[in-house]
Amino acid sequence: MRAFVDGSTDRGFRRVGDFNGAEQEGVGGYPVNIVDGMRQNTALAYLTPQVRRRPNLQVLSEVTVDTVLIKDGVARGVVSASGTVYRAAEVLLAAGSYGSPAILLRSDVGPAKDLRAWGIDVVADLPVGQRLQDHPFFHSLFALAPEHQTMTDAFAAGLWCASTEARAGELDLGIVAVHLLDGSFSTTGGALLLATALTRPESRGSLTLAGRDPYDAPVINDNYLATARDRRRILEGVKLVRSLVNTPRFAGALAGELVPGDAVQGDEELLATIEAGISTYGHPTSTVPMGRPEDEWAVVDELGAVQGVARLRVVDASIMPEVPSTVTNATTIMIAEHIAHRVYGA
């Protein structure tokens, strides 16, 4: 990790002490939410034993929601896959960027032509599932030099920067160095991964139903690198990785490039390799996007209320109009806290 940070500063990037501070452009240790060796989540942080004892809270596990029960344009509860009806004065969906749109589509809320194709009546003709975004990334792998294979407590280090095509104030490239790898495939027994992510992608994907059964996984088309600008920028990021590893203070820690490999040269060949190996950070957003009533792509308003259906809200990453340039976890929590405060005074 230290060699990655040193190599980045040698290339002119400044050292960032805390990516959660006022300035994020630069290189530094990757922040994590680990307490006493355990990664924290919303269940641990919010559903404390005291909260779980509240008489107005009941947590049900292993329940698959099929549809929202909608009558006369008003959400009345939800129906499980087993047919059990759970009635409620208001319904809040928080099933994520894949689950929430799938539930809405099965509940007659979505693009009319798609719903009718499945024999589903239309309650609200809305563009559910039409603006899927995520953070695509490509992983470059390097063999660690034998004398640099001692693992430290540092999980990762990151570089956040702007491409040459970034818009004003935009940090559209992220490079993360991670050493938590099985080194058995490396010629030296140790390996380092440098993941290049496009954090402000233009490309939009989609989510549609594969079937009416709630156990049928939806059809997800990520549509990564669909625009020429996206392809140019991620190519620039992977070439930046190659530039970083050739700095004197970084090169000494490595013993060669494993992926893409030294045989892959030239922009055309490198881009083809990137497209063949593209992956995701798993930060899907924007399948139930927030917007104004006049926005043709909007499904919910600024407080998560679904247009055309009373007493129904969506409160998760699916309502982000665009994927943020960072990990979506904290942003999603912020959205939930904001809506809770604005709507319920919590």
Report residue 41 as tokens.
């989540």
- Give DSSP secondary structure letters for 253-306: TEEEEEETTTT--SHHHHHHHHHHT-EE-S--B-SS-B--TT-TT--B-TT-BB
Does one domain contain both 159 and 253?
yes
Asked if pLDDT for residue 2 goes beyond 90, the answer is no
pLDDT at 7: 95
Asked if pLDDT for residue 249 goes beyond 60, the answer is yes
Does one domain contain both 226 and 185?
yes
Is residue 257 situated within a structural domain? Answer: yes
φ, ψ for residue 243 (rounded to 5)? -70, -40
Does one domain contain both 24 and 163?
yes
Does one domain contain both 112 and 205?
no
Per-residue pLDDT band for 95 (boundaries 50, 70, 90) equals very high
Does one domain contain both 148 and 266?
yes
- Crossing angle of helices 2-10 and 228-245, rounded to 10°: 110
Is residue 54 situated within a structural domain? Answer: no
pLDDT at 33: 86
Does one domain contain both 151 and 274?
yes
Does one domain contain both 156 and 239?
yes
Predicted structure pTM score: 0.93
Highest-pLDDT range among 27-36, 114-123, 211-220: 211-220
pLDDT at 62: 95
87 to 74, 194, 246: CA distances (angstroms): 12, 49, 62
pLDDT at 60: 96
Is residue 46 situated within a structural domain? Answer: no
Single residue among 262, 280, 298 that ends a domain in this structure: 280
Mean pLDDT of 23-48: 91
DSSP β-ladder status, 173-178 and 191-198: antiparallel
Is residue 49 situated within a structural domain? Answer: no
Domain of residue 142, CATH code = 3.30.410.40
Asked if pLDDT for residue 121 goes beyond 60, the answer is yes
Is residue 252 situated within a structural domain? Answer: yes
Count of other CB atoms within 10 angstroms of residue 327: 17
- Give DSSP secondary structure letters for 69-124: EEETTEEEEEEETTS-EEE-SSEEE-SHHHHHHHHHHHTTEE-HHHHHHTT---SE
Is residue 200 situated within a structural domain? Answer: yes
Lowest mean pLDDT among 34-38, 203-207, 340-344: 34-38
Which residue segment(s) compose the domain that 93 sits in?
60-132+284-344
User: Catalytic: 283?
Assistant: yes
Is residue 43 situated within a structural domain? Answer: no
pLDDT at 147: 86
Does one domain contain both 195 and 266?
yes
Single residue among 239, 257, 280 that ends a domain in this structure: 280
Does one domain contain both 160 and 27?
yes
Single residue among 247, 280, 313 that ends a domain in this structure: 280
Domain of residue 87, CATH code = 3.50.50.60
Does one domain contain both 243 and 291?
no
- Per annotation, catalytic residue among 139, 148, 283, 341: 283
Residues of the chain with pLDDT > 70, as a percent, come to 97
Does one domain contain both 194 and 242?
yes
Instruction: Report the domain count for the chain.
Output: 2
pLDDT in tens, 142-201: 999 988 877 665 568 999 999 999 999 999 999 999 876 677 778 888 889 999 999 999
Is residue 44 situated within a structural domain? Answer: no
Give the three-class secondary structure for 159: strand
* Type of residue found at 234: I
Count of other CB atoms within 10 angstroms of residue 56: 4
Does one domain contain both 16 and 162?
yes
pLDDT at 153: 56
pLDDT at 154: 57
